[in-house]
Amino acid sequence: MKINYSIQNDLSFEGIILPYFKECKENYNQLEILKGNKIPTEFLVSDKIFKGEKQETYNLNFIKDNARLEVMLVGLGEKKELSRRDFKKAIGKAYKSLKGKKVVSIGVYLNEIEGLFDSEEEVVKNTAQALVVADYKYITQKSDKKEEKLETVTLVSNNIDDNFKKGFGEGVSLGNNMEFCRELVNEPANVMTPTELANRVKSLGDKTGFEVEILEYDKIKELKMEAFLSVTRASAEPPKFIIMRYKGNPGGETLGFVGKGLTYDSGGLTLKSPAGMKTMKCDMGGAAGVIGAMGAIAENKLNVNVTAVVAACENMVAGNSYRPGDIIGSMGGKTIFIGSTDAEGRLTLVDAVYYIINNEKVDKVVDMATLTGAKVVALGSDTTGAVSNNDEFFAKVNKSYDKAGEYVWLMPSFPEFKEQLKHFEADLTNSPGNPGTITAGLFIREFVGDTPWVHLDIAGASYNTKGKDYISSGGTGIGVSPLYHLAKLMEK
The CATH number that applies at residue 442 is 3.40.630.10
For a pLDDT cut of 70, what percent of the chain falls above it? 99
Give the C-alpha separation, 18 to 58, whole Å.
10
Residue 35 lies in a domain: yes
Return the SS3 of 46. helix
- Please compute the mean of the pLDDT values over residues 376-382 and round it to a whole number: 95
Within this chain, do residues 121 and 185 fall inside the same structural domain, yes or no? no
Domain presence at residue 75: yes
**Average pLDDT, integer, range 387-410:** 97
Q: How far is CA 403 from the centre of its chain?
A: 13
Give me the mean pLDDT over the 452-459 stretch: 98
Q: Are residues 250 and 379 in the same domain?
A: yes
Residues 321 and 418 in one domain: yes
- If you average pLDDT over residues 314-323, what whole number do you get? 98
Indicate whether 116 and 198 sit together in one domain. no
The crossing angle, in degrees rounded to 10, of helices 391-404 and 480-489 is 120
- Over residues 200-212, the mean pLDDT reads 98
**How many percent of the chain have pLDDT more than 90?**
86
pLDDT at 32: 87
In this prediction, residue 77 carries a pLDDT of 94
- For residue 190, give the DSSP letter: T
Looking at the structure, tell me whether residues 267 and 355 fall in a common domain.
yes
What kind and span of H or E run contains 326?
none
CATH number at residue 97: 3.40.220.10
**Catalytic residue annotation:** 272, 346
pLDDT score recorded for residue 330: 98
Q: If DSSP codes are grouped into helix, strand and coil, which group holds residue 357?
A: helix
Among residues 260, 257, 262, the alpha carbon closest in space to that of 245 is found at 257
The Cα–Cα gap between 163 and 448 comes to 40
Residue 116 binned pLDDT confidence (cut-offs 50, 70, 90): confident
Query: Is there a domain that residue 141 lies in?
Result: yes
| One-character DSSP codes across 423-470 | -SSSSEES---SSHHHHHHHHHHTTTTTS-EEEEE-TTTSEESS-BTT
Please tell me whether residues 150 and 212 are part of one structural domain.
no
Q: What is the pLDDT of residues 480-492, one digit of tens each?
A: 999 999 999 999 7
What pLDDT, on a 0 to 100 scale, did the predictor assign at position 360? 98
Tell whether 141 and 226 lie within a shared domain. Answer: no
Domain span at 307? 179-489
**pLDDT confidence tier of residue 10, bands split at 50, 70 and 90:** low
pTM: 0.96
Across 65-79, 163-177, 351-365, least confident range: 65-79
User: Is the residue at 169 inside a domain?
Assistant: no
Residue 284: inside a domain, yes or no?
yes
Inside any domain, residue 173: no
Is residue 129 domain-shared with residue 209, that is, in the same domain?
A: no
218-256 pLDDT, tens digit each: 999 999 999 999 999 999 999 999 999 999 999 999 999
Q: Cβ distance 295 to 203 under 8 Å?
A: no
Total number of domains in the chain? 2
- Look at residues 126, 160, 194 and tell me which one is the last residue of a structural domain: 160
Q: Are residues 146 and 219 in the same domain?
A: no
Co-location of 229 and 369 in the same domain: yes
Distance between CA 309 and CA 319 in Å, rounded? 29
Exposed e or buried b per residue across 267-279, where buried means at least 16 C-beta atoms within 10 angstroms of its C-beta: bbbbeeeeeeeee
Q: Same domain for 135 and 196?
A: no
Mean pLDDT for the chain overall: 95
Residue 162 scores a pLDDT above 70: yes
Residues 201 and 236 in one domain: yes
186-193 average pLDDT score: 98
Residue 80 lies in a domain: yes
- Residue 454 and residue 391 in contact, taking contact as beta carbons nearer than 8 Å: no
pLDDT digit string (tens) for 22-32?
Answer: 988 767 888 88
CA distance 223 to 102: 55
Alpha-carbon span 438 to 156, nearest angstrom: 46
Q: Would you say residue 167 lies in a domain?
A: no
